[in-house]
Structure 1
Amino acid sequence: MKKPGEVFANASVYDPGIEAIVPRYDELHDALLNAPPQDRDESIRVLELGAGTGELTTKLLTRFPDSSVLAVDHSDQMLDEAERKLETFGDRATLERGAFPDDYPSASGEYDLVVSSLAVHHLDETRKQTLFDAIYESLVPGGWFLNGDVIRFDAPHLETLSGEMIENWVRSKGWREDDFMEEWEASDDYDDPSSLTDQLVWLRDSGFEAVTSIWQYYNFAVYGGKKSE
């Protein structure tokens, strides 16, 4: 049985598959990577929630060459892919199997940066708020949380428009639309996206400052906030 985040039965096709179903996937990652306030040569501690195959982890470790990343995912097959991809970074990358907010974050005041990509939308509203509280606690003063994820529009016609945009994007990537969308829709059972506005409010309720949306393309967005100094 698939777990949340296992959009494809075989994790080895996740990377090309996700690029075909998430429009401007690289732009989403760029927004996540450009938003942290730390200089590239700073030694920072990063927690990544829902690391998947380690694609964003690789980019983080490359962009911040003195950083270390604890990458967490609950899928064994995703972690197997990530282990192969991250081998070159040695002990700068640590992989752990676990779920959030149940298992992670568990530390207090430990991380300079917490990031997540295409994972938090699997949680319902209450668990999102619980996660935001835990992330705030896990950050050092002045640390940042950044999330790139699926969001929900309150306007039905915009939800329809976003669905049509994804189908057009899939076709533009040369995939057979019916087969591909069947795989994608099979993962919808685990999806519970919230509106961007609600999530920004919840971040403020958790104590975050400078809460903001950084990037958005239809129903994909990058947003986050800073723990008070």
Structure 2
Amino acid sequence: MRGGFVLDHIREAFNRFAQEYDTQREYVIPELRQFYSTAVWAMESPAPGPAILDVGAGTGLLGAFLLQKFPDARLTLMDIAEEMLGMARKRFAARPGTEYRVCDYTRADLGGPYDIVCSALSIHHLSPEDKRRLFRKIHDALVPGGMFVNADQADGETPFFRERYLEYWNEFLRSGPMTDAQQAEILKRRDTLDRNEKLSVQLSWLNEAGFSDVDVVYRNRTFIVTVARKG
């Protein structure tokens, strides 16, 4: 990333629309429920109460899905935007023991060890160098056999597919109930904050980080779910 300048813009943008984030998701992300449910399906742990770290956790939307599968999970939510984590605190107010960490997860110590590390719609904001570094940090923070599940975005493999995917996404946004101003805000964030990388490159970085089993379990144009298991 381009230093603190980009981080400040990400923090500012996500703090600004924290209140609207959850209500807009189904109109911003095609097949939202399948996208998240596939990520949860991919999470496996022999521990009945697995230690789970959610990086870029935002309002805790992914955490809410995964707790349906792992109700006894020891959950740590990490995000740079304090207002987003504030929404997560409200979501999990009746659930003691959940940990919240406001920090830049690309630079912070992730802690651990964890049985599962997961993320949703966050890592695509990072530079290529920060993505690669983060994948190595996540590998090191997992127990042997631990899993990293990333529900995120990927660029098309060629300029042709990049444009086709954007056309699909734009049409989905236009088909929903959001106002023109809301759509314009989504497109502005996408154009200024998203730094998508090709799926093939992301998979190669996961292998490079040391994961023994790497695959993609879901793809709907731009939206992907990758899974990586530590040997």
TM-score by length of 1: 0.91
Correspondence for 1:179 = 181
Structure 1 position 18, deviation (Å): 2.2
Partner of 1:71: 77
* SS of equivalent residue, structure 2 residue 92: helix
* C-alpha distance in structure 2 between counterparts of 1:77 and 1:7, whole Å: 8
2:124 corresponds, among 121, 143, 151, to: 121
Letter in structure 2 aligned against 1:185: L
Aligned to 1:101: 106
Determine which of 41, 54, 57 is the counterpart of 1:51: 57
- Pick closer, same or farther for the CA change 1:5–1:212 going to 2, 3 Å: farther
In the other structure, the counterpart of 1:151 is 154
Shift of 1:208: 0.3
CA displacement at 1:7 relative to structure 2: 5.4
AA in 2 matched with 1:76: E
Conserved? CA contact 1:106–1:134, under 8 Å: no
Distance 1:45 1:223 in 2: 20
Q: In structure 2, how many angstroms separate the alpha carbons of the residues matched to 1:194 and 1:10?
A: 25
For residues 36-95 of structure 1, the C-alpha deviation after alignment (integer angstroms, 9 at most, x for no partner) is 2236x811000000111111112222320121110001111101111101112111x211
In the alignment, is the contact (CA less than 8 A) between 2:145 and 2:230 conserved in 1? yes
Q: How many residues align?
A: 223
Q: Percent identity?
A: 27
Change in Cα spacing, 1:85 to 1:51, as seen in structure 2 (3 Å) is same
Unaligned residue ranges in structure 1 (runs of 5+): none
Report the CA distance shift for 1:121/1:4 in structure 2 as closer, same or farther (over 3 A).
farther
Shift of 1:104: 4.1
The SS at the match of 1:90 is coil
Unaligned runs of 5+ in 2: 1-7
Q: 4+ runs of 1 displaced by more than 4 Å?
A: none
Q: Which residue in 1 is equivalent to 2:5?
A: none
